[in-house]
Structure 1
Amino acid sequence: MQDALFHLPEPPPEHAVIARFQLGGDDLGEPDQWSLVFEAERSVGAAVKAASVGEVDGNEFGGGEVVLFAYGPDADALYRVMEPGLRALPFRPAHVVLRYGEPTDHAIEERIEL
């Protein structure tokens, strides 16, 4: 007799949307840029949550750029919700990488210029 408790389905791989924006000023950008990034992150995060497509997981400043991270089960659906807010940020050059799967799985990635 099999015990169904030990044959749970594998969770789907986690997809990612990783957005990179070039900043002006020093290595970390300038304070007025930070406020625009934080506001966009809050707005995009609320939209992602409302659409139930994943979560915005934060940012990373350094090297003259800012990177925003979001994760969910479907990178395309996640990006569709995030795209208007990401395109509204004025910093260029900028691009987004859609990662379809875990990074350790040699996941397929697609790059979109903003």
Structure 2
Amino acid sequence: MLITIPSGGPDHEPFPSWEIEDALRQTLADAGSGEFDGNDMDFETGEVTLFMYGPDTDLLFASAEPVLKRLVLPKGVVAIKRYGEPGAREELVRIT
């Protein structure tokens, strides 16, 4: 599963995702639904992508969604639930 977060400010400054990352890492581990695997920051657009993996993307999303809902996030945050390896069916879920 991927979470994409648009720019955090003027001049395409990346959104400070550390709080989200720490919360997701802990929540996914506690739930046993998967693991947080890191991020990618696009310094041209300011978009941050968070990577999570687990055997069941719906369970992974169910674990992560409450974390995403309780934090103050910019408009345009989406989750991409992937049902298998890259190239498999994907479902886009708007968070904000």
Indicate whether the TM-score tops 0.5: yes
3-state SS of the aligned residue for 2:19?
A: helix
Q: CA deviation at 1:111?
A: 0.4
Q: CA deviation at 1:73?
A: 0.3
Tell me the distance in 2 between the aligned counterparts of 1:58 and 1:22.
16
Aligned-residue CA RMSD in angstroms?
1.3
Moved >3 Å (runs of 4+): none
Amino acid at match of 2:10: G
Q: Aligned residue for 2:77?
A: 94
Q: CA deviation at 1:28?
A: 4.0
Q: Which is richer in strand?
A: 1
3-state SS of the aligned residue for 1:26?
A: helix
Larger radius of gyration: 1
Matches within 5 A, 1:1-114: 17-23=1-7, 24-29=9-14, 33-34=15-16, 37-62=17-42, 63-87=45-69, 88-103=71-86, 106-114=87-95
Segments of structure 1 that go 5 or more residues without pairing to the other structure are 1-16
After superposition, what is the alpha-carbon deviation per residue over 1:34-59, rounded to whole angstroms, capped at 9, x for unaligned?
2xx10111011101001111100011
Tell me the distance in 1 between the aligned counterparts of 2:11 and 2:58.
33
TM-score (norm: length of structure 1): 0.73
Tell me the distance in 1 between the aligned counterparts of 2:66 and 2:36.
15
Q: CA deviation at 1:93?
A: 1.1
Segments of structure 2 that go 5 or more residues without pairing to the other structure are none
TM-score (norm: length of structure 2): 0.86
Tell me the distance in 1 between the aligned counterparts of 2:49 and 2:72.
12
State the aligned residue count.
91
